[in-house]
Amino acid sequence: MQQSLLSESDKPTRTHFEILLMSWAGWVFDFYDLILFTFLLIPIGAELKLSRVELSYILGSSLAATALGGVIFGVLSDRLGRKSVLQSTILTYSIGSFLSGLAPNLWVLVIFRVITGLGVGGEWATGQTYVGETFPPKARGRYAAIMQTGAPFGIVLATLVGGFLEGSIGWRACFFISVLPALLVTFIRRRLPESDVWLSRKTIISREGFKAGAVEQEGRNKFLLLFSTEYRRLFIQSLILAIFDMSAYWFTYSWLPGYLHEQRNFPMVKSAIWMLVTQFGGLLGYLSFGFVADRLGRRPAYSIYSVIMAVALVMITLMWGVVAVYPPVILSFMFLVGFGTGMFSGYGPLFSELYPTAIRNTAMGSAFNLARGVQFLTPVIIAVIAEKYGLSGGISLAALFALLTGIWIWTFPETKGQKLKIVEGQ
Q: Which residues 6+ apart lie within 8 Å of 21 measured at CB?
A: none
pLDDT of residue 413: 93
DSSP structure class, residue 179: G
**Greater confidence, 399 or 220?**
399
Residue 4 domain-assigned (yes or no): no
From the list 44, 71, 2, the residue with the least C-alpha distance to 362 is 71
CATH number at residue 225: 1.20.1250.20
Report pLDDT digits (tens) over 127-186. Answer: 888 998 888 888 888 888 899 888 878 878 888 888 788 888 999 999 999 888 888 887
Residue predicted with more confidence, 302 or 397: 302
pLDDT digits (tens, 9 = 90+) for 267-323: 777 777 888 888 899 899 999 998 899 899 999 999 999 999 999 999 988 888 888
Q: 258, 173, 234: which is closest to 421 by C-alpha?
A: 234
**Domain span holding position 362:** 9-411
**Residue 129 CB neighbours (<10 A):** 31
Which H/E stretch holds residue 306? Answer: helix 298-316
Are the CB atoms for 329 and 323 separated by under 8 Å? yes
Considering the domain boundaries, does residue 287 fall inside one?
A: yes
Rounded distance, CA 63 to CA 370, Å? 9
Residue 424 lies in a domain: no
- Residue 342: DSSP 8-state: G
Q: Total domain count for the chain?
A: 1
Maximal C-alpha separation, the chain: 70
> How many angstroms separate the CA atoms of 197 and 220, rounded?
20
The answer to whether residue 417 sits within a structural domain is no
Residue 2 belongs to a domain: no
| Cα R_g (the chain), whole angstroms | 21
416 found inside a domain: no
201: Cα within 13 Å, side-chain hemisphere:
25
Amino acid at 409: I
Residue 116 scores a pLDDT above 80: yes
Residue 322 counted as domain residue: yes
User: DSSP alpha helices (H): ranges in 375-410?
Assistant: 378-395, 398-408
Any domain includes 425: no
197: closest CA among 415, 417, 26, 361?
Answer: 361
Mean pLDDT score of the chain, rounded to an integer?
85
